[in-house]
Structure 1
């Protein structure tokens, strides 16, 4: 599978009206959110506190009269320094480059699959700062097999789901969790595209180090190719 061909497939699929949140939420109600280390406004926010970061995110949404904040693909973030699971003093191997697209919205918000798919795997990833409850779907389109990952879900989202369970495009697959179960973050969906699961089940790296980011850029293309929240 060539990268170019797979990217072209994603781009073509994105020409449809695809969504992972309620389709009734207009794209004009989404506002970009910068959580990178270069955002000077974050220097006054204790990003190690899910409550204080949540206040910052909520205020950002309200200030723009929006319903959802989004962003984060390939963003270098300082938020992961609070967790030993990501932390590393070596700038080449510290995992701080985000590989998915985050959608910040209230807990219990329904989550939908943008494409026909079946459950590849699911798991509660309980490390501090990890995904918490996670679902991974497998999709097969025009001979291409690939995966989408949904992280920071509610515990009920994985309580009855089964491997191999099929969902049609637009079907609800989950709801969002809160900080008690989602790795201690303000409520949000981590949405990621994965070409090759590399044998992982229920989990896949959502944050990369500088030395590994080129591999992950190829294996985890920009989710905005599907969702089109900004131009591609």
Structure 2
């Protein structure tokens, strides 16, 4: 099935903006939301200039403003004339060692990456259940595969929660017309990845996003992207001794 009307959150930069460019190049209509409206408007101008036949709708949205999420999703659906795929991409990567006096950073990351993602899934699924079709995509992380220590603890826990939510929804909706995909990206060349990982393991943005879009288009239930080396890491990481994992924090 070709999904032609796609909503992406966190679309003003990074993976969200890159996915918007990829889908627009395929002739899809896109609805884009993020906190920074001027960045979205610039992206809309770029996409419409490059692909005159598509519709690009934009709205400012702070996903931590949970009551605003369904309202903005409804507005974007109305402007596009429907929605058949929602990509829950907005997220935070900041964090600190627990108990070090930076609870604010950890709570913000946990809120945006899980609670606010839940709010987005609620809004998307309300639309999909009403129309009896749709595709929900949750952008988790390879950090969800194993609890990571130190400053990565809250981040990995939040992404693990999101991955568990995706698994639960995929099971629940397996026999329905609603598809659910959970993506677990490894290090892809964005500002967040540049601070998080070994440069030798960071995939170029175009390669990483192509892998993400490929898995989304196939509507895979769970996908580690890019496949290499992350599918191998998906198998190996849960088996590593704690002493080895401790050095990752």
User: TM > 0.5 between the two?
Assistant: no
The structure richer in strand per residue is 1
TM tier, shorter chain? 0.3 to 0.5
What is the TM-score with the length of structure 1 in the denominator? Answer: 0.34
Q: Which of structures 1 and 2 has the larger relative contact order (alpha carbons within 8 angstroms, sep 6+)?
A: 1
The structure richer in helix per residue is 2
What is the TM-score with the length of structure 2 in the denominator? Answer: 0.33
Which structure: larger Rg?
A: 2
